Amino acid sequence: MDVNGSLVLSDLIPILGWIDIKGMKKAMRRISKELDVIVDGWIDEHKVKRNKLGDNLVPEDFIDVMLSVVDDNFDPSSKHDKETIIKSTAMAVIIAAADTTSVTLTWMLSNLLNNRRAMAALKQEIDEKVGFDRIVEDSDLENLTYLHAVIRETLRMNPAGPISVPRVASEDITIRGYHVPKGTRFFANFWKLHRNPEMFPEPDEFRPERFHEKEVKVDIYGRDFEYLPFGTGRRSCPGMNFGMQVVQLTAARLIQAFDFGTPFDLPVDMTEADSTTLAKAKPLEVVLTPRLSPELYRQA
């Protein structure tokens, strides 16, 4: 992600494409080859398992499903072979969700540590609806409505992708008196949009209740153009559903399993770093106290 967000001079001045400042283009090519080898290995491993089990195979993960879908729906006239389709789709989903997922979890915990009332409310919901005798499962998530609100409020205040990927105007258009010619490249500022006080009163306050109590009626899919944590339309984040599932389950299990604190009970520094994904400027340091029986930690 650091390389992805680095300055490449030819992006601004194409004629200078032969200049590779700090070796960024070389690094991008190297990383691309490394990722290609890794994903190739994953696909080959799944193919071996698929050939070995045949009709007895039960899909266990994303690549299992992709292999089945592509086999059943492959268009022989396609410009790309099956392996390329599977590989590119897997890389798009995994790369899109990996860094943004860890960033979102870090901001969620940071916000909760600075808002202990919200932390207590989330902990109470998990304790009441799941309990202490088992670990949170996927099937529990639909009942954890305050958890959903906490994550949505985190994505509002600290969107992992604060600015959209580049878009291009398909035709001449005038917006609020500004003329935008066809072909203009532009970026949507999600961070600023999410702090619109007309849509989100007290926008700088972490308040999950605005989503939990339906004060604002928007969803994560960007259909309202007021709340766009994953973008919108055909170019929305391909890792959205995967990322949300991972964030929800991981967050629920962390809050269920541990009491969180900070060293010396100091507030968390919420300074944002300058990067493609909106990471914290300083690492999050926490103090963990187990809440469950030792047997459950061994099961996890």
Could you list the residues known to form a binding site, using ranges: 237
Q: What SS3 class is residue 232?
A: coil
> From CA 156, how far away is CA 178, in angstroms rounded?
27
CA 199/CA 202 separation, integer angstroms: 10
**Angstrom distance (rounded) from CA 67 to CA 70:** 5
Residue 16 DSSP label: G
Q: How far apart are CA 214 and CA 113, in angstroms?
A: 24
Q: Point out the annotated binding site for heme.
A: 237
Beta bridge partners of 180: 173
Q: How far is CA 124 from CA 41, 130, 131, 261, 294, in A?
A: 43, 10, 9, 17, 21
